[in-house]
Chain A
Amino acid sequence: MLVVRVLGTLGILLVLSIIVFSMLHLAPGDIVKNLLGNRPSSPEAVAAIRAQYNLDQPLYMQYLIWLGNALTGDFGQSIRLQDSVSNVIGARLGITAALSGLAFVLALVVAIPLGVQSAVRSGSWIDRFATGVGIVGLSAPTFAVGLLLLYVFAFYLPIFPVYGSGDGGLDTLWHLVLPAITLALGLGAIILKLTRTAMLRELDSDYVTFGRARGLPDRQVHMIALRNAAIPIVTGASLVLTFLVGGTVLAETTFALPGLGTLLQGSVLFKDIAVVQALTLLVAVTIATIALLADLAYIFLDPRIRAKEGAQ
């Protein structure tokens, strides 16, 4: 099973890499002009580009060379920022990682207890409140929420800074609070829903009734149920991650944070294809890896599956 799963992931990544590679050739306009950007198209520059991208080689060789370079971390040059793509990405990775990390922690801390309570007291005011917040969080686009928060907490009540990422350290953290809350609303809504659904299912099962009949305190029963509910919550990780990718682009654009999201937006609008290729591939690999890890966590969390895997 596991081998099939890993091979499947590799297969999908291979197909995706071909699609990402062909972006260069499929983008409208002349390929050399696209790669030159704003630089003057002197014969020397054109020749240099042709040599650098091996445009005289057959297509499959171009792909293999590109893939080989990509695997060693060489994604070429950004025509917009006049720097190597890996430098450009490296400089912005930190802020995106901090933003997503903060949002993720916020979402977990709020959504899991709320999801548990909402399942335990199904139908109560807390459940209805959680359901309402969940629907809005699940449907509201990140940028619309971000702009509302920006207006209320940065313009109307000037508590938080408006734009940018601050001067590093605590100041940056302070600048990240509003964007992180914005992002956490959508993330939290997904986690809340997964938690509530999973908990409702677990609370219905025999072992909970049995535990209660034996006189275990409610708290302990809920903890046992949550442990079992963890499986569907963890395997929902890829869903969370898919949301996070789009969400960071929107949150960073809304709050003008110099992270990978704004880099992607800027590069797409400028048609800086090398950067777009690198970011797309990076995201695809990250998502595939996390999805694979989630499946491994599934085996780790569920002893029944572990036993089955061992027997085969």
Chain B
Amino acid sequence: MSSTEAIVLAKTPRSRRRHPVAVWVSIALLGLVTFLAIFGNLIAPDATAQSILDSLLPPGSPGHLLGTDELGRDVLALTIAGASSALVGPVCVALGSMLLGILLGTVSGYLRGPIDFIIGRWTDLLFSLPLLLAAIVVAGVFGAGYWMTVLLLILLFSPSDIRIVRAGVMEQAARPFVEAAQMLSLSKTRIMFTQVLPNVSSLIITNSMLNVAFALVAFSSLSFLGVGVAPGTADWGRQLTDGRAIMIDNPAAVLIPALLIIGVASAANLVGDWLGQILTRTGRS
């Protein structure tokens, strides 16, 4: 089954060595992008302002460090403004999918029985859909906007969270402390969410970080294909679509956003793996 592999792939540590330097670089990059996502409006207030006179300036032109694109928009300002679109959506997707995962995964793994069966078949169905294909079709045919795409991706990302939480909860549920809690006749809800759940938190945190990386890839792919974000929005994927045609005149319009997408996704992935390693090492799971 693809699901088990996905989980194995998501949580097996890549290497026994830690990568302190790479991890610090990644955290710094993520910090920078977060900063830009929050304060980008102040640094580059009119990023999407067009100016036909300044169209297609090469990098290093006066006043335009990275040049301009076909519509005369400053590439640096556009890239800075694109940080919020690149980060807000993926973080919302990771949080939403985490919430669904915690809720359905805990209930499914602790109560078992028919409810587990129904949730299990539901995740089977969602897992059998190639994520990107489903997102392209739904976002494209139904003309979904940015926030509809967020909801759609939450739905499509949730199976992996549900399965990981479920597996973790099932493992915990067999332990003596759960039996002790049952003896004290705590309610099922209380056992599930205050006793069992904290013990699988390291799995949840790790997977959410990895989800941010994959959601960023999914989001930028959708906007690259022309679905998801409205034309004219400052968005890295969108910049790549527009910049493809002007690669000779201004390579920076393509290279900078492309490197940023690759860099941020890799950084989130690396930090996710690293969190997984240190959190499991401290024995919280």
Interface residues of A (CB under 8 A from B): 8, 12, 15-16, 23, 26-28, 122-123, 127-128, 131-132, 134-136, 138-145, 147-148, 150-151, 155, 190, 193-194, 197, 232, 235-236, 238-239, 242, 245-246, 249-250, 253-254, 264-265, 268-269, 271, 273, 276, 280, 283-284, 287-288, 291
Contacts and interface: CB of A to CB of B under 8 A. Distances in A.
A197 B251 contact: no
Contacts of A253: 224-225
A139 B14 contact: no
B137 A138 contact: no
Contact of A265 (B129, B136, B251): B136
B12 interface: yes
A235 B5 contact: yes
Interface string B1-45: 110011011001011110000100000000000000000000000
Query: Which DSSP category, helix, strand, loop or mixed, fits chain A's interface?
Result: helix
A268 B240 contact: no
Contact of A141 (B141, B217, B251): B217
A27 B140 contact: no
B14 A268 contact: no
Contact of B128 (A123, A148, A254, A287): A287
Lowest 4 CB-CB distances: which A-B pairs, in order? A246-B132, A268-B140, A139-B265, A238-B2
Contacts of B15: 122-123, 127-128, 131
Residue among B141, B247, B251 having the largest count of chain A Cβ atoms under 10 Å: B141
Contact of B16 (A123, A235, A280): A123
Nearest to B224: A143
A110 B14 CA distance: 18
B5 A283 contact: no
Contacts of B151: none
B13 to A, nearest CB: 9
B136 A287 contact: no
Contacts of A138: 269
Query: Considering residues A28, A193, A239, which has the most beta carbons from chain B within 10 angstroms of its beta carbon?
Result: A239
Nearest to B266: A139
Contact of B5 (A131, A141, A194, A288): A194
Contacts of A250: 132, 221, 224-225
Contacts of B273: 135
A269 B9 contact: no
Contact of A151 (B129, B141, B142, B254): B254
Given A147-B244, A151-B255, A291-B2, A27 B141 contact: yes
Contact of A246 (B6, B8, B221, B248): B221
Interface of B: 1-2, 5-6, 8-9, 12, 14-17, 22, 124-125, 128-133, 136-137, 140-143, 213-214, 217, 220-221, 224-227, 237, 240, 244, 247-248, 251, 254-255, 257-259, 261-262, 265-266, 268-270, 273
A159 to B, nearest CB: 16
A238 B8 CA distance: 14
B interface: dominant SS? helix
Nearest to B270: A135
A144 B5 contact: no
Contact of B269 (A135, A194, A264, A287): A135
B8 A245 contact: no
9 contacts: A136-B262, A144-B220, A145-B258, A147-B240, A148-B262, A193-B14, A264-B136, A268-B225, A283-B130
Contacts of B6: 239
B54 to A, nearest CB: 23
B124 A8 contact: yes
B226 A269 contact: yes
A12 B262 CA distance: 34
A265 B78 CA distance: 25
A15 B124 CA distance: 11
B225 A139 contact: no
A268 B224 contact: no
Given A123-B17, A242-B130, A249-B132, A12 B124 contact: yes
A27 B142 contact: yes
A141 B259 CA distance: 10
Nearest to B248: A155
A134 B128 contact: no
Nearest to A253: B225
B258 to A, nearest CB: 4
A249 B225 contact: yes
B265 A141 contact: yes
A265 B225 contact: yes
A223 to B, nearest CB: 23
A121 B22 CA distance: 21
A271 B143 CA distance: 9
A127 B1 CA distance: 28
Nearest to A271: B141
Given A232-B8, A239-B2, 7 more contacts: A123-B16, A128-B17, A147-B247, A155-B248, A194-B5, A246-B133, A253-B225
